[in-house]
Structure formats: C-alpha cells, structure tokens
Amino acid sequence: TLTCEPETPLCCRRDHYVDFQELGWQDWILQPEGYQLNYCSGQCPPHLAGSPGIAASFHSAVFSLLKANNPWPLGTSCCVPTARRPLSLLYLDRNGNVVKTDVPDMVVEACGCS
C-alpha cells in the first residue's frame, strides 16, 4: 500500500506510532509499549475507484463497470482501510487483575479506494 509522504495527494496510509508513556498510560497497560495508529487519507479519482491498494482484479471490475455505465460517475470513491490486524494488550483492570486480550481490527495495514 502507499505510505503517505507530505506531498502525496492520492489515497495512502498515514503512519503514527503512539507510545503509551506519551499518553501517561504506562502504569496500567503493561504490554506492548505502544502501537501503530495508522489511518487512511488522500484522494480517490475515478480511475482509482475500487483499487484496494493490493489486488487489481476488483479494480478492473469496477473500472469496466464505470466505462460501461457512464464516464463520469456521480458517487465518489473514498480512501478507506482495506486490511487491518488485531492488537494484543496486557493491562491491569481496576481491581489490579492482569487481563490479556486481543482487540480486533486495531491496526490499519493497507488503504485503498472504495
């Protein structure tokens, strides 16, 4: 997937690493020390509609539909996450118990155009 550079206008993944120490939460989140808070941003012009940032087959299907119906689609295509993974957290709950849990879909791995 495309990782955003400052001047990238097209749909890409913007990476931010968040350290729990920076949040002041290192006293109750034991593991890991931080995580990737990524999000998707950028434009999705018509010729990119349906390009999920990874596989092309879906893109070509949408593209041929666009050509078959009308050259200027009314709807817009948005830059959205197309692949995400869970985050495993080890933390202390309010009673001092240690809880290990997997939070689903926490980290955005790839972005693409809807």
Partner 1 sequence: QGVRSVCPSCGAPTLAPQAERALVLELAKQQILEGLRLTSRPRITNPPPQAALTRALRRLRQESVAPATGEEVISFATTTDSSTSTCSSTLTFHLSTLPSRHLYHARLWLHVLPALPGTLYLRIFRWSPRRRRRGSRTLLAEHQMTGPGWHALTLPSSGLRGEESRFLKLQLDCRRLEGNSTNAQQPQWLLDTVGDQRPFLELKIQPNEPGAGRAKRR
Residues lying near partner 1 in the complex (CB under 8 A): 6, 8-10, 16, 18, 22-23, 25, 27-30, 35, 37, 39, 41-43, 79, 87, 89-104, 106
**Closest distance to partner 1 from the beta carbon of 52 (Å):** 17
Yes or no: say if 5 and 19 are a contact pair by the CB < 8 Å rule: no
**Closest distance to partner 1 from the beta carbon of 93 (Å):** 5
Tokens at 92, concatenated:
């202390």
Secondary structure (3-state) at 23: helix
Query: For residues 66 and 87, which CB has a smaller minimum distance to partner 1 in the complex?
Result: 87
Query: For residues 27 and 65, which CB has a smaller minimum distance to partner 1 in the complex?
Result: 27
Neighbours of 11 (CB within 10 A): 27
Yes or no: say if 38 and 2 are a contact pair by the CB < 8 Å rule: no
Which helix H or strand E contains 5, and what residues bound it?
A: none
Query: For residues 64 and 88, which CB has a smaller minimum distance to partner 1 in the complex?
Result: 88
**Closest distance to partner 1 from the beta carbon of 5 (Å):** 11
Secondary structure (3-state) at 63: helix
**Closest distance to partner 1 from the beta carbon of 22 (Å):** 6
